[in-house]
Amino acid sequence: MNRTRRRRARSLIGRILFWVAVAMILLFFLFPLHWMVVTSFKRTAEVTLLPPTLIPWVQFNPTLKNYVEVLTKMPAGLLSAGTYKQSGFPQALLNSILISGAATVIAVLLGTVAAYAFSRFRIPGKGDLLFFILSTRMLPPVVTLVPVFVMFISFGWRNTFHGITLLYVAAGLPFVVWMMKGFFDEIPREYEEAAMIDGYSRLEAVWKIVIPEAIPAMLATAVFVLIMAWNEFLFVQLLNPGKFTTVPPFLYAIIGYGRVEWGRMAATSVIFLAPIVLFTWLVRKHLLRGVTFGAVRR
């Protein structure tokens, strides 16, 4: 009886310590997000109060002023008190959605086709080609900034939708090819061979047999490519500073004159974060299986 009680006590203490550790980890990672969301509902004078106010309706009364200004009209600045200008955030957000979404779809589709070819066919110099594709990810992006800028000027791609989209496609393709090749290597060739023996063509076998197995991997890869394109700042700031700019440069532009508009920046960040969180939540069932792909083995 005493041994049983001691075992139960140890088990209970272990569970308590486990959940305490989980709560501490969640607090560590989620507290900055809580601070950002709370700041987005504060007035300018409440943002820098010490000690800080963290609980809405208890320590301060929340307001939607920051969200209204970001989505409609924003103050023109301290030098033009009382005047407002049309907010560019809705257009910047739409640009981010279109550019990042198009780049992700194109990169995943092209990369999946290339990865399938590398996985299934004998290609002369396959190892060298794969290394070359991977080598494009070894350089820091800032190293390629000048040649990319000159290329955009030469082709007339600066301040265009398709120019920055193609750049993001090129940046995401190496990651997609390497990730998807590993996933295709885990799918037995016998599946396709059996389908082709039954009369399917190669394309039909790939479409009906291989692609359904690879969808979780494609979605998991798409999440990482989308996040890369969604958060990119340097190239879009230099190459698309006008009509087709995205949200990261817009965030930098609303810092303000003479002071930092923390409330407005926080509101912009919350709205900017929402689409990525929504997309990740929608594919959550496939995300874990895609990242840990390999359950289908010979």
pLDDT digit string (tens) for 168-209? Answer: 999 999 999 988 888 888 888 888 888 888 888 888 888 888
- Which comes out higher in pLDDT, residue 4 or 36? 36
Q: What 3-state class would DSSP assign to 178? A: helix
Task: Report the pLDDT averaged over residues 42-48.
Answer: 84
pLDDT of residue 77: 56
In tens, the pLDDT along 240-273 reads 888 888 999 888 877 655 567 888 889 999 999 9
Q: At 298, is the pLDDT very low, low, confident or very high (cuts 50, 70, 90)?
A: very low
| Per-residue model confidence (pLDDT) at position 75 | 64
Q: What is the DSSP string of 187-226?
A: S-HHHHHHHHHTT--HHHHIIIIIHHHHHHHHHHHHHHHH
Q: What pLDDT does residue 199 have?
A: 82
Question: Can you tell me the distance from the alpha carbon of 129 to that of 177, in angstroms, rounded to the nearest whole number?
Answer: 11
Q: What is the mean pLDDT of the chain?
A: 85
- At CB < 8 A and 24+ separation, what contacts does 189-198 make? 189/120, 190/298, 192/120
C-beta atoms surrounding 205 within 10 Å: 20
Question: Residue 124: pLDDT above 60?
Answer: yes
What does the pLDDT read at residue 270?
92
Name the one residue in this structure whose structure tokens are 């409440």. Answer: 46
DSSP sequence for 43-89: -HHHHT-SSPP-SBTTTB---SHHHHHHHSEEE--GGGTT-EEE--H
Give per-residue pLDDT as tens, 139-172: 888 888 899 999 999 998 998 999 999 999 999 9
Question: The pTM is what?
Answer: 0.84
If you ran DSSP here, which 8-state letter would residue 143 be given?
A: G
Measured CA to CA in angstroms, residue 102 lies from 111, 166, 198, 207, 268 at distances of 14, 9, 36, 22, 22
